[in-house]
Amino acid sequence: MGMWASLDAMWEMPAEKRIFGAVLLFSWTVYLWETFLAQRQRRIYKTTTHVPPELGQIMDSETFEKSRLYQLDKSTFSFWSGLYSEIEGTLILLFGGIPYLWRLSGRFCGYAGFGSEYEITQSLVFLLLATLFSALTGLPWSLYNTFVIEEKHGFNQQTLGFFMKDAIKKFIVTQCILLPVSSLLLYIIKIGGDYFFIYAWLFTLVVSLVLVTIYADYIAPLFDKFTPLPEGKLKEEIEVMAKSIDFPLTKVYVVEGSKRSSHSNAYFYGFFKNKRIVLFDTLLEEYSVLNKDIQEDSGMEPHNGEEGEDEEIKAKVKSKKQGCKNEEVLAVLGHELGHWKLGHTVKNIIISQMNSFLCFFLFAVLIGRKELFAAFGFYDSQPTLIGLLIIFQFIFSPYNEVLSFCLTVLSRRFEFQADAFAKKLGKAKDLYSALIKLNKDNLGFPVSDWLFSMWHYSHPPLLERLQALKSIKQD
């Protein structure tokens, strides 16, 4: 009876109170659901202390234990950082943090001689202050994650100076993109008339295409060093494979990811006939700084394939070696190029643009509703930026959760298809061993709770991918 009474009471409240209550309730529901899933996965980290029989061939017990402890530490960290974020977000809403920051931005504009009619200027000051607040409150968490957790488990390669310089650079680059783009978007919404949502959507489409085009050439090099992959067997084989599937490859780069972390990766980018492949140095056995360090420690010259080296030293290096052999790197690239050949990249762009258009259309429908603004403490004014924030971040949150889950399911499907594509190229055996190596290098834990993995994993669990490749290998 009490529950129905409280629901009735909620319906009798003014519309803005109902909206505010629903937003807070949904936010905490999602938080509790995520925490419930994380606890299920945490139980697996705690109780699975021995390598399960089906993983006997794949993982030795030392690596298994290392990855178990790493994932346990990460899950403890995400519990506390998640709790902090949820409480911080709730307090900002309850104590009117958003209207307060808007008034503060107005005051700063006033000092500079801009009155309340300069709404776009005030919006930019608001964005600058909001992102500064978020960067400062996120900094202690980021420091702890990098210098305690990643350091303890042997992944962090950064010094504190490098980290801080990097954080400041990131903040400045973000502002250089965010502020001009936001001011233009707000201007388009202001002057766009009845069909402003079409122009706003087209503008964000153009911006995202421009950013994808310039990111790797102009933005990424501000943070990491990119060098062309030297001529040699690996480069030739990559070019041959790209040609065999009509991938319009123009350049292959190696990025010095090892200055930051020993995690590894590979990706491609570019439009139309101008595609580039980027390999992390940590992915390549020949380039990995870690391997060079080991070789120097063991008094070896960097390995050039000479015979007659001490077998014991070779074994020691091999056991600690990071990265993949050339054939395995090619298999990983075969998988990545599969995403291109099978149209996954284009499909993802189309889905995200359809979603973006739908969101702008709904925004156009809702922006005139004064009670949405009143719910968040804006009684006298309805600034466009605040409307974007309220509608995209709070009102759309149930839709965003559902969409995110659907995209996760689709992503796993794409991963299986890309694995099968690499197999068609004759790379099943090498991809099989590469996946095991990458899992070991990145200390991935190969056992997962079915509900947690279904909700969160954009890639299928290791064992499922290996089983699919095995059945493929036996075909």
Q: Of residues 34, 419, 441, 449, which has the active-site annotation?
A: 419
Q: Return the SS3 of 255.
A: strand
* 415 has binding-site annotation: yes
The DSSP bridge partners found for residue 275 are 249
**Residue 412 contacts residue 460 (beta carbons within 8 Å):** yes
Tell me whether residue 336 is one of the annotated catalytic residues.
yes
Is 239 a residue of the active site? no
CB atoms within 10 A of CB 58: 20
Task: State the sign of the Cα–Cα–Cα–Cα dihedral 157, 445, 277, 322.
Answer: positive
303 among annotated binding-site residues: no
Instruction: Of 226, 219, 211, 208, give the one whose Cα is nearest residue 276.
Output: 226
Q: Is there a contact between 234 and 326 (Cβ–Cβ < 8 Å)?
A: yes
| Beta pairing partners, 315 | none
Among candidate residues 288, 219, 253, 225, the one with its CA nearest the CA of residue 441: 288
Rounded-to-integer distance, Cα 143 and Cα 141, Å: 5
Write b or e for each residue in 21-32: b if 16 or more Cβ atoms lie within 10 A of its Cβ, otherwise e: ebbeeebeeebe
Q: Rounded to the nearest 5 degrees, what angle is found at the Cα of 139, between the Cα atoms of 74 and 96?
A: 105
Separation of alpha carbons 279 and 427, rounded Å: 18
Phi then psi for residue 284, to 5 deg, are -100, 120
Catalytic residue among 119, 281, 285, 336: 336
Over its C-alpha atoms, the chain yields an Rg (Å, rounded) of 26
In DSSP terms, 227 is beta-bridged to 254
Q: Which two tokens stand for residue 351?
A: 């889905």
Within 8 A by CB and 6+ apart from 252, the residues are: 228, 229, 235, 238, 239, 276, 277, 278, 279
| Residue 186: partners with Cβ closer than 8 Å, 6 or more residues away | 119, 120, 123, 384, 385
Output DSSP code: residue 369: -
Q: Which residues carry a binding-site annotation for Zn(2+)?
A: 335, 339, 415
For the annotated catalytic residues, the residue numbers are 336, 419
